[in-house]
Amino acid sequence: MIKGYIRLGLVFLSLLGWAYADIEIRKGGSTWAIINGSGEIRIGGSTVGSVSSDGSIRKGGSTVGEIRSDGEIRKGGSPYGQLRKDGELRVGGSSVGRFDSSGGIRKGGSTWGEARGVSGYDDQRKVTGVLIFFSGDF
């Protein structure tokens, strides 16, 4: 009986860990950024901001923008771009990048990097927030 409870507990913990798995953003073959399960954004080993489940992006303790559930990207309260459901990233009306189904991140038709641990559109929104507000490339 006790072994059954232990097994059940281990299964629960493994599922909990999966639900709060980290997203790793790689650039040039190396880890560039990590988004942990609570939304904390780490670059170069240091916490630089956070992304909340509603899409709000915080940097240095202040909200700097958001990626809304419909994909609208707002910077400082103003419209900035759009993340489409098909993975296309548009800024100022032009296509600037795309998420491949394999996790690849493309910018202007070339490979920019890779996102590992992405599971669906909400995770793409989180990665987009990091790219837009922390990379300086998008």
pLDDT tens digits for range 4-45: 444 444 344 344 444 457 999 999 999 999 999 999 999 999
* Residue-range domain boundaries for the chain: 21-135
Average pLDDT value over all residues in the chain = 88
Token reading at 28? 């040039």
10 Å CB burial of residue 61 (0-12, 13-18, 19+) is exposed
pLDDT tens digits for range 53-98: 999 999 988 999 999 999 999 999 999 999 999 999 999 999 999 9
CB 112 within 8 A of CB 127: no
DSSP assignments along 66-95, one per residue: EE-TTSEEEETTEEEEEE-TTSEEEETTEE
DSSP-assigned beta bridge partners for residue 65: 57, 75
pLDDT exceeds cutoff 90 at 51:
yes
Per-residue confidence (pLDDT) for residue 16, from 0 to 100 = 41
Question: For the whole model, what pTM was predicted?
Answer: 0.82
Residue corresponding to tokens 């032009």: 94
Taking CA 95 as the corner, what is the angle to CA 34 and CA 68, rounded to the nearest 5 degrees?
55
